[in-house]
Structure 1
Amino acid sequence: MIVVAYFSMSCRNKTTTTTPKNKADSSLKVRKIKDTISIVAVGDMMLGSAFPSKLNLPPDDAIHSFKAVDSFLKGDIVFGNLEGCFLNSGNSDKCKGINPNNCYAFRMPDRYADIYKKAGFNVLSIANNHVGDFNAKGRKNTARILDSLQIHYAGQLNKPFEIFEIDSVKYAFCAFAPNENTVSIKNIDSAKMLVSALKKQADIVIVSFHGGGEGANFEHLTRKTEIFFKENRGNVYAFAHGVIDAGADVVLGHGPHVTRAVEVYKNKFIAYSLGNFCTYGMFSLKGPNGFAPLLQLKINSSGDFLYADVISVKQDKINRLTVDETHTAFLKIKALSNADFPGNNLLFKDTNRIILRN
């Protein structure tokens, strides 16, 4: 109910346009939005944490983090999951009583935010288990910096959604997770109420979620509530279908740190996990954790799926983020989608394209 109340309050001061009684007293024009909308989407991103030591920052100070994929990060929407906060100093409460070098708490230097901006990212999810690693101080500083750079974001309880316009298209973006201070992925009815309200305000509604178990043992969808380390990580299948039923046009998942299946449901595209995209430091990059898709999605003005291209990327501790010429992520998506959704309506062509079957 917190989410719905927030939405109601935020809309009180919005002006509405009434339909003119006749053509003569109208200066209004019918707003036509573009026929094809381009959405670029990637998974988890954390460019280097200065906690517990600056030794955990990359040798180039993260400046070249996206160099190998710069040419692909171009679209109306360029989305990713911000797996950590921006904060120059401070300790994490989650590391009390344990060796900080074995504690997964991420704070990127404030200056790293501009690297995301210059790379092209204009929408970020802050609904995950690491944005709050440094409590309210980290969350507030992250919001302040993203606001200053005019990067759109959502997912914390104090900002469950954002509505914005790009090239005459009005977007609504909202994000969900099972973690403290985030908009809950576990309350599907509440999520549907928010999405339904947002659809009345926007042309295209994009939903992001951080959910599901982690690692190679959780590549497949169970269509059940997923438990990882005794934590309820949500039923991502029921969540994705529920928000599309409520009006979502695109659903983008992350959190498992591995690539998962994709699906087109009611003509709307779902990516169940976009994996580790650009994650420096303590993130495991072994096996499937080291491969991920860079998704180039095309939808029409009604939000319906047209096609998607998958640029397969890989990471290792030495070369960091590079393009994967063996197309591992695309082939993994193909295999998992066909296994988890037998008889699906998708055709995986060549080494990178996803289209609907005739």
Structure 2
Amino acid sequence: MVKISIDKLGEVSYENSPKIIDQYGLGNIFILLLILEKIESGELLLTDTVEVNEVIEKEGKDRASIGFKKHDRYSLATLIELQVVTWAPDVSLLLAKLFREKLKKSAQQTINTLLIENKLRENCCKNISGRVKRNDVQQFTINELKFLGEGFSKLTTQTSYYLSLREVYFKENLYKVPSYWSQHEENKNIVWKNNLIHLTHNQLIIVADAEDDLMRDKYLAKILLKEKNEKFYKTNENCQAFDKEDVSITITGDTYPGEWYSNRRTGWDPLKNEGYDYSFKQVKKFFLKSDFNITNLETVLPKDINHSPLKRKKKFVLGGKAKNTLESLKKVGIDLVTLATNHVGDYGSEGVRDTLESLDNYKINRIGSGFSEWESLRPFILETTTQKIVIFNGYWYRRTQYLEYGMYSIDKHLGGNPLSEELCNAITDVKTENKSTKVIVIAHWGVDFMSVNNTQKIWANKLTQAGADLIVGHGPHCLQPVDIINEKDVLYSLGNFVFNSNGEYDTHPYALPYGGILNIKLDNQSARLHLNFIMTDNNRTKFQPKKINKEDFNHILTNFGIDNLNALGWKINYRNLSISKKIW
């Protein structure tokens, strides 16, 4: 559980009975503070050097280490730069070795004395590297972090300059602080693991034990922006009301006309030769009797499709033509698109803004991204005369997608909404306000062409515990099975809808080359699911997804498991090649 602390410098308040935050040590943070303090006192010089010994060379086998070679010698200035940016265990040990050689005393013993004198937890620093010790538990609380923050805040401008470093180039490698704030904030930050100490001219802000790098940085963004979360269920925005109780909702998977692929094809191409409506011809019938239709828009609609900051950095940069794409979606009857995907940021913040503006111009509703963090998290609310449905959208956290590609909404950067503790809290808020309100979470998750993985299951558990009544997933470009988690239904992946890639199922024989089209029939206080299936292997359909045949249906049933479907309460409809179930 994340711990957040905000103090005015000079008036830092320590807790009387602080709770344990985490089970690793702070030795690497303490050694940096000690070193910087000794530089200020004149006991250490930035030009001081230290030689790598055999013990520290062996430490280089740790994947978090820099990998120093025995007998190499480095200056204190170089080691401080590496420490602030990487917190590598072998750098921490080299700093401790230099401390001992120059000051003739142990850094570990010095830290131990410091902890005792200031009534801090003595087991918060059992080693200098900060790594977990198997037989010696290390623990820290918010008080140890406040002490460190106060210590760093007292450094002079010249010395504290190092805390503003965001990257360091060392032996042909560029190391960067793994944080959004490394590029967008001038104040001093100490960032390690999922923790952050942020220093302004008059404030000490601490974010500790966040669920990941992204949420650590988002918590700080909210503090700096003084952003207040509004109650979603008290707003009339992003809402559609029906003046009847029997309403039909249809949800599909990944949709992309395929301009990126089209530009790389030779010969016949569905977009160039047939147009944007071609691929929807066989599947638009699924929307005819539906009142409200949802699809996942897995593309950006930039003004300039040929220019992307990720063009030579990311393998697949998916951009589409706004007019052609949205006109086709309107013809099919799409009312709402989900945007929280691994491609929403393919054209940077500008591309996201272009996409949002185009959708608004075409009066197509959207969730999962917005002009602010709050708007990205905001759900869509659908009401009948007897039911209220709140629909959220989120994309699971991937470190590379955040730190390298900027896929998530944070601060002033536009992107997608992540699956997060914050989302879970928003779901719980909705259910707390009115238990009869139903919550649907549309999750973009999973590994391409692979089966359901453990992270999907973990998130399904978290979301249903928070109060989600139904989870509908997509992302891996293949159909995945259904399940029940905490007595709530989970459809792990609907796979593709109209997604005009080159058809990669031949190289992934275990991936189900089908898409699911989910229809939710609301009536009075009840809801019933009808899951239809389409063939989405473009090599077999010539880029026109179509309803499956009996052989395909048997393939799906074998994968899902007939006994498993029966146990989960699904009815198998052999006549129309679908499955159905009442969920509330």
Coarse TM-score class (shorter-chain normalised): 0.7 to 0.9
Q: Using the alignment, how far apart are the partners of 1:167 and 1:60 within structure 2? A: 39
Distance 1:210-1:171 versus aligned 2 partners, 3 A rule: same
The unaligned stretches of length 5 or more in structure 1 are: 16-30, 225-234
Q: Using the alignment, how far apart are the partners of 1:203 and 1:165 within structure 2? A: 10
Quote the offset at 1:205 in angstroms. Answer: 2.4
Counterpart of 1:39?
249
Instruction: Give per-residue Cα distances to partners, 1:206-253, cap 9 Å, x unaligned.
Output: 2111111221xx22x34x2xxxxxxxxxx2223223323323232110
Quote the offset at 1:122 in angstroms. Answer: 1.3
Q: Using the alignment, how far apart are the partners of 1:242 and 1:196 within structure 2? A: 11
Counterpart of 2:312?
96
Counterpart of 1:349?
573
Q: Using the alignment, how far apart are the partners of 1:42 and 1:271 within structure 2? A: 12
Aligned pair partner of 2:467 in 243, 247, 252: 247
Q: Using the alignment, how far apart are the partners of 2:390 and 2:302 within structure 1? A: 27
Distance 1:329-1:354 versus aligned 2 partners, 3 A rule: farther
Q: Using the alignment, how far apart are the partners of 1:43 and 1:121 within structure 2? A: 12
Quote the offset at 1:83 in angstroms. Answer: 0.8
Q: 1:161 and 2:378 equivalent?
A: yes
Counterpart of 2:439?
205
Instruction: Give the 3-state SS of the residue equivalent to 2:363 in structure 1.
Output: coil
2:440 partner letter: I
The 5 A counterparts of 1:223-242 are 224=454, 235-242=455-462
Instruction: Give per-residue Cα distances to partners, 1:104-128, cap 9 Å, x unaligned.
Output: 1111101111211221111211111
Q: 1:107 and 2:323 equivalent?
A: no
Distance 1:14-1:352 versus aligned 2 partners, 3 A rule: closer
With structure 2 as the length reference, what TM-score do the two structures score? 0.48
Counterpart of 1:190?
422
Cα pair 2:250 2:293 within 8 Å, conserved: yes
Cα pair 2:534 2:548 within 8 Å, conserved: yes
Q: Using the alignment, how far apart are the partners of 2:474 and 2:233 within structure 1? A: 33
Instruction: Give the 3-state SS of the residue equivalent to 1:108 in structure 2.
Output: coil
Quote the offset at 1:260 in angstroms. Answer: 0.5
Distance 1:76-1:12 versus aligned 2 partners, 3 A rule: closer
Q: Using the alignment, how far apart are the partners of 1:42 and 1:206 within structure 2? A: 14
Q: Pick the structure with more helix per residue.
A: 2
Q: Pick the structure with more strand per residue.
A: 1
With structure 1 as the length reference, what TM-score do the two structures score? 0.76
Q: Using the alignment, how far apart are the partners of 1:266 and 1:308 within structure 2? A: 21
Q: Using the alignment, how far apart are the partners of 1:120 and 1:210 within structure 2? A: 22
Instruction: Give the 3-state SS of the residue equivalent to 1:236 in structure 2.
Output: helix
Aligned pair partner of 2:394 in 176, 179, 185: 176
Q: 1:61 and 2:281 equivalent?
A: no
Please identify, of 323-332 and 170-179, the stretch whose mean Cα deviation from structure 2 is larger: 323-332
Distance 1:333-1:268 versus aligned 2 partners, 3 A rule: farther
Quote the offset at 1:192 in angstroms. Answer: 1.6
Cα pair 1:63 1:115 within 8 Å, conserved: yes
Q: 1:151 and 2:385 equivalent?
A: no
Cα pair 1:126 1:153 within 8 Å, conserved: yes
Q: How many residues align?
A: 321
Q: Using the alignment, how far apart are the partners of 1:175 and 1:110 within structure 2? A: 22
2:293 partner letter: V
1:208 partner letter: I
Instruction: Give per-residue Cα distances to partners, 1:107-154, cap 9 Å, x unaligned.
Output: 110111121122111121111111211111111111111122222222
Q: Using the alignment, how far apart are the partners of 2:367 and 2:287 within structure 1? A: 20
Distance 1:162-1:328 versus aligned 2 partners, 3 A rule: farther
Instruction: Give the 3-state SS of the residue equivalent to 2:493 in structure 1.
Output: coil
Distance 1:32-1:64 versus aligned 2 partners, 3 A rule: closer
Identity of aligned residues (%): 20
Cα pair 1:292 1:314 within 8 Å, conserved: yes
Instruction: Give the 3-state SS of the residue equivalent to 1:113 in structure 2.
Output: helix
1:255 partner letter: G
Cα pair 1:327 1:352 within 8 Å, conserved: no
Please identify, of 155-164 and 267-276, the stretch whose mean Cα deviation from structure 2 is larger: 155-164
2:546 partner letter: V
